[in-house]
């Protein structure tokens, strides 16, 4: 059976939308997913499932979260192969002098339109850098996430509502979990 990764947006940040990972794993198991594992408290779930369209699976997961936890949590799904490709495609990793702790990936539910990409480029100010490849936006934020020109701005509110961001270490650790499931 294929391995999938569910990336939940906006949970366990501050006092709202709190979710215990043990309970989240139980929700996924209730959906008949196998080998369910979570990684850290930010809503990263690796699981095995039969072949099903990603939109249908995403809808089932979002409905289950709403039912079990009482609040909505947007979910971005990737297959293990898509996550591996996202790691391989990061244009910043290959450059010298790039601190891996300054890399992030925004996972999008769909490929962004040209207007969103144009606006993203306009908002990216030095020393920050961004690169969109397919359904991922790669970020190099040398001054960190909190001081970035790209965080909490109008593009995120208008164009990236269903997206979720992970730091580079988290992305790679989730990938390792996927490899352990195969």
Domain end residue (candidates: 54, 80, 106): 80
Domain end residue (candidates: 46, 80, 114): 80
Domain count for the chain: 2
pTM > 0.85: yes or no:
yes
Residues 113 and 137 in one domain: yes
**pLDDT (tens place) for every residue of the chain, 182 residues total:** 899 999 999 888 778 899 999 999 999 999 999 999 999 988 999 999 998 899 999 999 999 999 999 999 999 999 999 999 999 999 999 899 899 999 999 999 989 888 878 877 777 888 999 899 999 999 999 998 888 777 665 555 666 778 899 999 999 999 999 998 87
CB 71 within 8 A of CB 12: no
- Determine the structural domain holding residue 20 and report its residue range: 3-80
Residues 97 and 163 in one domain: yes
């Amino acid at each position: 059976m294929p391995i999938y990764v569910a990336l939940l947006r906006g949970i366990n940040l501050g006092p709202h939308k709190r979710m215990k990972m043990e309970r989240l794993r139980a929700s996924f198991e209730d959906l008949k997913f196998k080998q369910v594992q979570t990684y850290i408290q930010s809503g990263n779930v690796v699981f095995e499932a039969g072949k099903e369209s990603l939109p249908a699976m995403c809808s089932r997961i979002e409905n289950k979260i709403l039912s079990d936890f009482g609040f909505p949590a947007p979910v971005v799904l990737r297959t293990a192969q898509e996550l591996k490709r996202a790691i391989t495609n990061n244009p910043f990793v290959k450059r010298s002098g790039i601190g891996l702790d300054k890399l992030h990936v925004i996972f999008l539910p769909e490929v962004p339109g040209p207007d969103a990409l144009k606006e993203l480029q306009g908002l990216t100010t030095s020393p920050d850098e961004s690169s969109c490849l397919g359904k991922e936006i790669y970020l190099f934020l040398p001054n960190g996430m909190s001081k970035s020109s790209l965080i909490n701005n109008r593009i995120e509110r208008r164009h990236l509502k269903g997206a979720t961001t992970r730091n580079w270490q988290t992305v790679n650790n989730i990938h390792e979990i996927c490899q352990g499931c195969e």
